[in-house]
Amino acid sequence: MLLFLSAPQPRPPGARSRAGAARVARWRRQRLRLQQLRRLRGLLRGLRGRPGAGGRRRGRMALCGQAAGAASLPSELIVHIFSFLPAPDRLRASASCSHWRECLFYPALWPQLRICLRVSPAEQPRLEFLMRKCGWFVRELRVEFAAENYLSGGGGPGDAGDADGGPGGEDVEALQLSTRWLEVLRTYLELVLCVLVSIRNNRNLQKFSLFGDISILQQQGSLSNTYLSKADPDGKTIKQIQQLFEEILSNSRQLKWLSCGFMLEIVTPTSLSSLSNSIANTMEHLSLLDNNIPGNSTLITAVELERFVNLRSLALDFCDFTAEMARVLTDSNHVPLQRLSLLVHNVSVMHKSLDNMPNDEHWKALSRKSTSLRVYVMAFDVKSEDMLKILKPSIPLERIHFDSYITCVSGAIVDLISRQYDKFLTHFILMNDVIDMSGFPDLSDNRNEDPLVLLAWRCTKLSLLAVHGYTVWAHNLIAIARLRGSDLKVLEVTEESIDFDQGELADQDVDPVHNLIEQVSLGLGQPWHAVMDIESLSVFTEPNRHFYREMQSFSEDI
């Protein structure tokens, strides 16, 4: 028998087919995945710690000579696991053991920290612990301080409530409230100190936002400096806080976003001078607001603003935004400003002059400099004659919010807004908390057309309309829904603001409320109901707080 054997010829280099190479690569990947899966299964069996596991299995899973367990996992693996968990689950998982607890505050897990604090002594230990762990490395820090009266519905220092015990009882209650608010202010100062001390040496801080919601607004004005001087008689704590704030600014190396709103004298007119030129030149957002600044002082001047050449969003008190500032922002060395938020407060208007505000030519120059510039204005208890001076035709006004405790907005102002800003306006909010037993003011009184209907007709980009404390007739509400349709994403009107014509009420065959809900829902293309409780309004909150939060989202939406 003859056997003919042919020796295999060696393949020349590169002769392997692409399909074969792909099969080999796929096989290697599958083998690697299988090895990883076996390794993970082994870790899980070790973590379970079943009592029936044999000595050979325990020996196989031993790490560093000890049985494997939760504490034996490498720190890198624990941090990687934590990165997939939301913050509450991280906190619960960190209770497993001390090793996991140490990994909880790994810097990569906490790039940003947003805290909303009640001004209460109970918050201080928790804040101290959190800031001690994260304050030295956090990159984005946003802290809001809320006075307890907003959370519990109590009154301010000058609000004695409805005491039934006569004049003597009212005096006692007023004294108790004053004592309580002095304690609130002392706690507030301690909490602010805790935050600032923890980040004084943080060189990684990129976004820093502070908001202090404890300046109680009443008819007689804001919380007076008398209470602050009683809480800090010698002024040492306030001075220390101001110095710490300036130290943080001087030590910053990556700061891009600085926002400080209503923090009771923490920011001074000289605070920004602590920023180095290199940081000021790269700053992208700046927001400085404080109702307690004297009438002849401003937190930023036009000369100081010249350093902020890269500014893209700015938020100021309207009386501080002067014509000279508008001129600086139009200089060729400044990047185009894209977001401008302005707070028009009756306190500022009373103590500061409107003579230095930008005229229409300045607004035209700003709009030419940046075609994407949009403006957000909130007016708090501002008289109609002052609003007529403020609302220049060339302002690219996108959002406007009227909030009133004393002064109501007139129909003429609403009509002016709908005619001047029809190309830009997207948000219109009308809030009125004036106590008037005669009923809510009617914007359409003595007018052929309702100003709100004209607003919906002219402003084709309108996406949010919220009304409380002004009479809105049911047939006008239906007209607004039909005019804007599905483009009107939010239509919030409180039930107590809606009124019906006598003819609608006289029709026995139709339920006017049911008909209103049905017609508005059809017009909007989505289910709609009147707001039954004012506190469920998305915009219902203390005015300063709403402006701060709206300004933040408005500026971030670039």
Q: Helix (H, G, I), strand (E, B), or coil: what is residue 316?
A: strand
Domains with residue ranges and CATH for the chain: 73-109 (1.20.1280), 111-148+176-283 (no CATH), 341-359+374-557 (3.80.10.10)
Residue showing tokens 């049905």: 518
Token pair, residue 360, equals 């229409």
Residues 159, 155: Cα–Cα separation, whole Å:
5
216 touches 147 (CB < 8 A): yes
Burial call 455-472: b when 16+ CB within 10 Å, e when fewer: bbbbbeebebbbbbbbbb
Question: 531 pairs with which residues across the strands?
Answer: 494
Nearest to 144 by CA among 551, 548, 550: 548
Residue type, 215: S
Helix (H) or strand (E) holding 55: helix 55-60
Q: What is the pLDDT of residue 479?
A: 95
Token pair, residue 54, equals 């044999």
309 touches 332 (CB < 8 A): no
Q: What is the pLDDT of residue 354?
A: 87
Q: What is the pLDDT of residue 31?
A: 76
CA atoms within 13 A on the CB side of 210: 24
How many other CB atoms are there within 10 angstroms of residue 550's CB atom?
A: 19
Token pair, residue 522, equals 């059809």
Q: What is the pLDDT of residue 349?
A: 86
534 touches 492 (CB < 8 A): no
Residues 172, 183: Cα–Cα separation, whole Å:
17
CA atoms within 13 A on the CB side of 322: 17
Residue type, 110: W
Give the predicted TM-score (pTM) of the model. 0.81
Helix (H) or strand (E) holding 229: helix 225-231
Q: What is the pLDDT of residue 446?
A: 66
Q: What is the pLDDT of residue 231?
A: 83
375 touches 397 (CB < 8 A): yes
Residue showing tokens 């202090």: 212
Listed in order, strand segments (DSSP E) in 271-391 are 285-289, 313-317, 339-345, 374-380
The alpha carbon dihedral of 224, 230, 232, 235 has a sign of positive
Listed in order, strand segments (DSSP E) in 281-370 are 285-289, 313-317, 339-345
Residue type, 256: K
Q: What is the pLDDT of residue 223?
A: 52
How confident is the chain (558 residues) per 10-residue block, as mean pLDDT?
41 54 73 67 54 44 49 84 86 84 86 88 90 92 75 42 48 64 86 94 94 58 63 89 95 95 86 94 93 72 95 94 95 95 89 89 95 95 92 97 88 94 96 75 80 95 94 93 95 91 70 91 95 73 84 89
Q: What is the pLDDT of residue 407?
A: 84
118 touches 91 (CB < 8 A): no
The separation between the first and the last C-alpha atoms of the chain, rounded to the nearest angstrom, is: 87
Question: 313 pairs with which residues across the strands?
Answer: 285, 339
Burial class of residue 66, CB neighbours in 10 A (0-12, 13-18, 19+): exposed
How many other CB atoms are there within 10 angstroms of residue 266's CB atom?
A: 20
Question: 498 pairs with which residues across the strands?
Answer: 472
User: Given the DSSP bridges, would you call strands 257-261 and 285-289 parallel, antiparallel or unpaired?
Assistant: parallel
Q: Would you list the DSSP string of 59-81?
A: HHT-BTTB---GGGS-HHHHHHH
